[in-house]
Structure 1
Amino acid sequence: MSRTSEGRLPVIVRERERLTDDIVRLTLGPADGAPLPAWTPGAHIDLVLGPCALVRQYSLCGDPRDRTSWRVAVLREAGGRGGSVFVHDQVREGLVLEASSPRNHFELETAGRYVFIAGGIGVTPIVPMLAAADAAGAAWSLTYGARGRDALAFAGEAATYGDRVRLHAHDESGPIDLPAALGEPDPTALVYCCGPEPLLAAVEDHLALTPGWSPRQLRTERFAPRSDALDRPSTPFEVELRRTGVRVQVAADQSVLEAVRAAGVVVESSCAEGTCGTCETAVLGGRVDHRDAILDDDERAANDVMFLCVSRAADGELVLDL
Structure 2
Amino acid sequence: MTSDSEFSLEVTAVVSLAAGVRQVRLERRNRTPLPGWEPGAHIDVLLPNGLVRQYSLCGDPRDDAAYEIAVLRAPQSRGGSEHVHTRLRVGDEVAVRGPRNNFTFAARHRALFIAGGIGITPILAMIGQAEREGREWKLVYGGRNRDSMAFAGELQRYGDRVQLVPEDELGRLDLPALLGKPLPDTEVYCCGPTGLLDAVQQLCKPWPPGSLHLERFSGAITDGPTAAFTVVAERSGVVCSVAPGQSIVDALADVGVVVPTSCGEGLCGTCETKVLDGVPDHRDLLLGDDEREAGTSMMICVSRAIGPRLVLDL
Q: TM-score range by the shorter chain?
A: over 0.9
**CA drift at 1:183:** 7.9
* Matching of residue 263 in structure 1 with residue 255 in structure 2: yes
Greater shift, 24-33 or 92-101, is seen at 24-33
The equivalences for 1:77-226 within 5 A come to 77-182=74-179, 185-208=182-205, 213-214=207-208, 216-226=210-220
**CA drift at 1:182:** 4.0
Percent identity between the two aligned chains = 49
The alignment's C-alpha RMSD in Å is 1.7
**CA drift at 1:13:** 0.5
For 1:13, which of 8, 11, 14 is the aligned residue?
11
Deviations 1:15-68 (A, max 9, x none): 0000122000001101333211111100000111133x1000100000111110
The equivalences for 1:287-298 within 5 A come to 287-298=279-290
Aligned-partner SS, 1:129? helix
Is 1:257–1:308's contact at 8 Å kept on the other side of the alignment? yes
Is 2:24–2:70's contact at 8 Å kept on the other side of the alignment? yes
Partner residue, 2:55: 58
Is 2:233–2:313's contact at 8 Å kept on the other side of the alignment? yes
**CA drift at 1:215:** 6.3
For 2:228, which of 215, 236, 248 is the aligned residue?
236
Q: Which amino acid aligns with 1:237?
A: F
Partner residue, 1:309: 301
Q: Which amino acid aligns with 1:217?
A: S
Q: Which amino acid aligns with 1:116?
A: F
Structure 1: distance between partners of 2:203 and 2:87: 41
Is 1:147–1:169's contact at 8 Å kept on the other side of the alignment? yes
Is 2:180–2:203's contact at 8 Å kept on the other side of the alignment? no
Greater shift, 96-105 or 170-179, is seen at 170-179
Structure 2: distance between partners of 1:149 and 1:181: 21
Structure 1: distance between partners of 2:135 and 2:239: 50
Q: Which amino acid aligns with 1:319?
A: V
TM-score by length of 1: 0.93
Is 2:179–2:204's contact at 8 Å kept on the other side of the alignment? no
* Matching of residue 285 in structure 1 with residue 277 in structure 2: yes
**CA drift at 1:253:** 1.6
Assess, with a 3 A threshold, how the Cα gap between structure 1 residues 183 and 14 changes in structure 2: closer, same or farther.
farther
Structure 2: distance between partners of 1:133 and 1:182: 21
Between the two proteins, the alignment pairs up a number of residues equal to: 312
**CA drift at 1:184:** 5.2
Is 2:48–2:94's contact at 8 Å kept on the other side of the alignment? no
Q: Which amino acid aligns with 1:83?
A: G
Structure 2: distance between partners of 1:187 and 1:296: 21
Is 1:204–1:215's contact at 8 Å kept on the other side of the alignment? no
**CA drift at 1:111:** 2.2
For 1:46, which of 34, 44, 47 is the aligned residue?
44
**CA drift at 1:233:** 3.5
Structure 2: distance between partners of 1:137 and 1:103: 26
Partner residue, 1:34: 32
Aligned-partner SS, 1:61? coil
**CA drift at 1:263:** 1.1
Is 1:235–1:251's contact at 8 Å kept on the other side of the alignment? yes
TM-score by length of 2: 0.95
**CA drift at 1:223:** 0.7
**CA drift at 1:187:** 4.2
Is 2:42–2:55's contact at 8 Å kept on the other side of the alignment? yes
Aligned-partner SS, 1:221? strand
Structure 2: distance between partners of 1:110 and 1:191: 9
Deviations 1:164-209 (A, max 9, x none): 110000111211012444485224211110000111111112122x
